Structure 1
Amino acid sequence: MSQLVRFSSPDTVTPPYGPYSHVATVSADAELVFLSGQVGELPDGSLPESIEDQYLQTIKTIAAILEAEGLGPQNIVKLTTYVTEPIPADRLRAARHSVFGDIKPAATLLFVPRLAADGYKVEIDTIAVRAAK
């Protein structure tokens, strides 16, 4: 994996505030894998009430999709997270670490007024990488 992507955070800018890197550089030998935006629905289609529970379920769903593709959290290059209400940063980091471990991809967190359907509070777009075939 380290040959496919290089993560860095230059000393000349403010250090990252959380578990992310300022830069993710992907090798020409890599194949990019784009996941559609995932939300916090449980496998049975129900939706947890709290934003923390929806966030946790969303990252579990991403992990399951990656696994189905023969990938894991270490293959994640970029996460873009959309939330409709504040989520405490310490809880967000703890939930992400519990599923993804100690990864630090490039990441963006955006607050938006609404997502695609009523009740959705979290949506995450994911870009991953694997060796080109």
Structure 2
Amino acid sequence: MNNKITRKNPTQVPSPVGNYSHLTIIPKNATMYALSGQIGVGVSGELPSSLSEQVKNTLKNIQFILESEGLNADNVVKVNIWQQKK
């Protein structure tokens, strides 16, 4: 039984325009993790003024959460990012 996430790009459709796959297959009976509410605050609680530093912190926080469960970026299926407008 295959227990790995599989990503495919069928040849019948145009290639993706970015670094993603058109189709992701999650195996039956796989454990699914849902992360939510990750913001740009650093480990010590500071919120950088620059958006790029906030994004870096957010991605680091996600990485730390994944690692706490023995996972990595290969296990991520989807990420949604919202920017709050002032």
Q: Say how many residue pairs are matched.
A: 85
Aligned to 2:52: 52
What amino acid is aligned across from residue 34 of structure 2 in structure 1?
F
What amino acid is aligned across from residue 66 of structure 1 in structure 2?
L
The structure with the greater share of residues assigned to strand is 1
| Structure 1, unpaired ranges of 5+ | 85-112, 115-133
Cα distance change on mapping 1:15 and 1:82 into 2, 3 Å = farther
Bigger shift: 50-59 or 11-20?
11-20
TM-score, normalization: structure 1? 0.56
Q: Which portions of structure 1, spanning 4 or more consecutive aligned residues, are displaced by more than 6 angstroms?
A: none
Aligned to 2:70: 70
TM-score, normalization: structure 2? 0.82
What amino acid is aligned across from residue 78 of structure 1 in structure 2?
K
Aligned to 2:41: 41
Q: How do 1:51-130 and structure 2 match up within 5 A?
A: 51-84=51-84, 113=85
- In the alignment, the residues of structure 1 paired with residue 57 and residue 28 of structure 2 have an alpha-carbon distance, to the nearest angstrom, of 33
The two structures, once aligned, show a CA RMSD in angstroms of 1.9
Aligned to 1:21: 21
Higher relative contact order (CA 8 A, sep 6+): 1
How far 1:21 moved relative to its partner? 1.5
- Partner-residue secondary structure (3-state), 2:35: strand
| Structure 2, unpaired ranges of 5+ | none
- Partner-residue secondary structure (3-state), 2:62: helix
Max Rg structure: 2
Identity of aligned residues (%): 35
